[in-house]
Structure 1
Amino acid sequence: MLAAERRDHLLDLLAREGKIVAKDVAAELRISEDSVRRDLRDLAAEGLCQRVYGGALPVSPAVADLAARQTLSPGGKRQIAAAAAALVQPGSAVILDGGTTAQAVAHALPPGLDCTVITHSPTIAAALLDHPRAEVFLLGGRLFKHSAVTCGAAAVEAAQNVSAELCLLGVTGVHPEAGLTTGDAEEAAMKRALAARAADTYILASAEKIGTASRFRVLPWEDVSGLITDADPHHPVLEQLAARGVEILAAQ
């Protein structure tokens, strides 16, 4: 099989199966695992897959810059935001992550809601300026411009001094095996620090993130309370997660 044919085969397998296991492909095509790994390296360099130990997973489209992500699935994000906002109880404290879906959550909160919002996102804080009864705490640190959030040691330390009933966390990848992932190591560490300070953590993930992975793991499934998504409830990944006991909140 020619290299171009192997490439097409790998991309087709990734689309059909949601993952590539290098040793299985090598046995199927009767080539060495090294050849498969080289092909996967080439595909990853083009942004067509996310390499993981033993193979590859679909790459998340949500690793684009903030401006590009603003135009990605706006309708789905509004549905997720409505479902997430309904979880915020009057008088409670919520940790709200950065990103475009979290920004939609900020806009979805009732203007008169009496609550405390803790965030490391200046854009989230600004979106809540017209919520007169919402107390807003902005966690400082180094500004990660890709996502318009603070991260780094100072931000993690600030997060360790707050607590909340609820954390609403965004990720770029949602996969049964890879877990919950994002594209930057410091941002992943900050997300873990935020989740650790809440009684319940719900993941905000629009449909295009389901079944994909990014480079850095944020949390295992055991550390979250549930997933809020606009994806089809019969999506194979969601069915796998539900079978493992993950609560799926359908945003329809």
Structure 2
Amino acid sequence: MLAIERRELLLRRLERDRRIVAKEIATELGLSEDSIRRDLRDLAAEGLLTRVYGGAVPASPAVADYAARTQIATASKHRVAATAADLVRPGSTVILDGGTTVLALVQQLPRSLDATFITHSPTVAAALIEHDAEVIVLGGRLFKHSAVTVGAAAAEAANRISADLFLLGVTGIHATAGLTTGDWDEAAMKRTLASRAAETYVLGSAEKIGAASRHPVLALDEITGLILDAPAGDPAADELRRTGVRIVTTG
């Protein structure tokens, strides 16, 4: 089998099974694991998948630039946002992550809501200007790709706060790879924010379910639950359910 044929087969198998186990497919094709790993490295370099221990999973489209992400799965993000908004209680203190799903969430919140919001996203903070709620912005180096602050100053500010709830955005939600994102510093900031909240829920629009990015944020057993927009019988969502993580579905 030619290399291009192997890679086409790997991509078809990834689309069907939502993961590739290098050892299993090497045995199936009568090839060495090294050959399959080389193919996976090449495909990962092209952004067509994300390598994980022992194989690969689908790459998340949510790592695109900020402007492009505003056009991805917009209806799904609004369904997730509407469900997440129900978790925000009057009088509570809530950490809001950055990202387009959180911006959709802000649109769902009553402007008269009595709450305190803490965010490291200037765009999320700006969206809350017309709300009655108190808004606290965590400063630091601006990571322009996601329009959030990161780095030592942002982490130091985050370590001085505490909250009832953190609504966390990631680019990948996978049963084995866990919760992932595309940048190392951003992943570290998300972990710091999660450590400051009593509960952490992850916002999971359709394009993130069953996908993964390069940098781990948290394991599934380190969060309170997932808010997922997935149809009944979705194999990636079913695999997440089998891990035992709490799942809140939209609709």
TM-score by length of 2: 0.98
Q: Is the 8 A contact 2:65 2:146 kept in 1?
A: yes
**Cross-structure match for 2:196:** 197
**Cross-structure match for 1:65:** 65
CA distance in 2, matches of 1:72, 1:13: 24
**Cross-structure match for 1:227:** 226
**Deviation of residue 241 (structure 1)?**
2.4
Deviations along 1:90-146, whole A, 9 cap, x unmatched?
010000000000111112111110000000000000000010x20000000000000
Q: Where do 1:53-202 residues align within 5 Å?
A: 53-131=53-131, 133-202=132-201
CA distance in 1, matches of 2:186, 2:233: 31
Tell me the secondary structure at the aligned position of residue 112 of structure 1: coil
CA distance in 2, matches of 1:176, 1:74: 24
Q: Is the 8 A contact 2:175 2:243 kept in 1?
A: no
Q: Is the 8 A contact 1:233 1:250 kept in 2?
A: no
Amino acid at match of 1:110: P
CA distance in 1, matches of 2:128, 2:67: 20
**Deviation of residue 42 (structure 1)?**
1.2
**Cross-structure match for 1:215:** 214
CA distance in 1, matches of 2:109, 2:19: 37
Q: Is the 8 A contact 1:117 1:137 kept in 2?
A: yes
> Where does structure 1 differ by over 6 angstroms across 4 or more consecutive aligned residues?
none
Amino acid at match of 2:116: T
Q: Is the 8 A contact 2:18 2:236 kept in 1?
A: no
TM-score by length of 1: 0.97
| Shift in alpha-carbon separation, 1:53–1:244, aligned structure 2, 3 A | closer
Gaps of 5+ in 1: none
Deviations along 1:133-173, whole A, 9 cap, x unmatched?
20000000000000000001111111111111110000000
**Identity percentage of aligned residues:** 63
Gaps of 5+ in 2: none
Q: Is the 8 A contact 1:185 1:216 kept in 2?
A: yes
CA distance in 2, matches of 1:80, 1:10: 31
**Cross-structure match for 1:13:** 13
CA distance in 2, matches of 1:52, 1:79: 30
Deviations along 1:10-38, whole A, 9 cap, x unmatched?
01111111111111111111111111111
Amino acid at match of 1:147: S
Tell me the secondary structure at the aligned position of residue 110 of structure 2: coil
CA distance in 2, matches of 1:175, 1:201: 17
**Deviation of residue 243 (structure 1)?**
2.9
Tell me the secondary structure at the aligned position of residue 11 of structure 2: helix
CA distance in 1, matches of 2:179, 2:232: 18
